[in-house]
Amino acid sequence: MSWWGKVVGGAFGFMLGGPLGALLGAVLGHNLDKGIAGIQIDEELSPGDRERVQTAFFTATFSVMGAIAKADGRVSPDEIALAESVMRDMDLDPQMRKTAINLFNQGKADGFPLDDVLLQFRQECHRRNTLIQMFIEIQLQAAYADGQFDAAEDRLLLHICAQLGIPEFVFRRLEKMIKAERHYGRAGAGRQQSRQQPKGPTLADAYAILNVASSSSDAEVKKAYRRLMSQHHPDKLVAKGLPEEMMKMAAQKTHEIRQAYEQIKESRGF
C-alpha cells in the first residue's frame, strides 16, 4: 500500500506519531491519541521506511509553508492563493490538496509548534541532506511565488535552516537558484507573474542555477551540472522519501537545470 493509502486508512499514526502525526491526524479527523502516546521519535524505528519519510515530508512541507506565509504577522488572501497554486503545480488529487490546505492552515495558526515539527522532520529524514534541501527549495519557491521575498520570510527561513542543519551559505545558494529559476518559467500556469520579472532567463540566471561563476572553467561547469542533475533526479529523491506526487516538481527542476546548462554551453561554444 502506498504512503497515502496508509494515511487515509488511518494506519499511519502508529508508524509516525509525534507532532507531525498529531498535525496530520488533526486535519484528517483520525483519533491518534494512542498512536501518538505510544510512539517516540526514534531514528532506529524502521530507518528504511520510505512511506514514513514520505508522510513526514508531506506533512512538514505544507504546515511549515503556512508558518512562512504568516512570517510578517498575517496571511493575505494573495498568499493563500499562491500557496494553493504551488499545490496545483504538484498535481495533488482533490483529497490530498484538501489535506495540504488544512495543513497550511495549521501552520499559520497561533501556537504552531514549528521547532518541534522541524526536529521530528530532521530525525525522520535520517540525515538525507538532498531531501532536506529539496524541502527548503519548495519553501523558497512558495515564498517567491508572488515575486517578493521580504525580511520576515528571510529570517524565518534562516531559522528553519538552522534547525535542519543547513548552513547559511547553502541557504543563500538555494535562494539564488530559486530566484533564477523563476526566469525559466517556474512561475507556471496559474501562478501570478511579477511585473518586474524579465521576459526570459539571462546568462547570469543560468550561472546562478548551476551555482558557478562566469569565470569558472568548462570542466567546473560540467561537474556542477552533473552534480545538480544527480541531486534532483526524481527517482533518486523518491527513493530517499520524496512523495511520488512531488516528482513533477523535481522533474521540472532537472529541466531547468538542463536549460541553464545548454544556455551556458551555447554561449561558450563547447
For 51-81, the pLDDT digits (tens) are 888 889 999 999 999 999 888 777 777 677 7
Q: Is the dihedral of CA 81, 87, 89, 95 positive or negative?
A: negative
- pLDDT at residue number 37: 38
| Alpha helices (H) along the chain | 3-8, 18-28, 33-38, 50-69, 77-89, 94-107, 114-124, 129-143, 151-164, 168-181, 203-210, 218-231, 234-240, 247-268
Structural domain spans, the chain: 3-268
225 and 207 in contact (C-beta within 8 Å)? Answer: no
Q: Check residue 33 and give its pLDDT.
A: 42
Q: What is the pLDDT of residue 87?
A: 78
Low-confidence ranges of the chain (pLDDT < 50): 14, 32-48, 187-198
CB < 8 Å & 24+ apart, contacts of 84-91: 85/145, 85/188, 85/190, 85/191, 85/192, 86/138, 86/141, 86/142, 86/145, 86/191, 87/62, 88/190, 89/188, 89/190, 89/191, 89/248, 89/249, 89/252, 90/245, 90/246, 90/248, 90/249, 91/245, 91/248
- Assess contact for 157 and 140: CB atoms under 8 A: yes
Q: For residue range 206-250, what is the model confidence (pLDDT) as tens digits?
A: 999 998 999 999 999 999 999 999 989 988 888 888 888 788 888
- pLDDT the model gives residue 195: 43
Task: Give the per-residue pLDDT at 34.
Answer: 41
Query: What's the pLDDT score for residue 201?
Result: 78
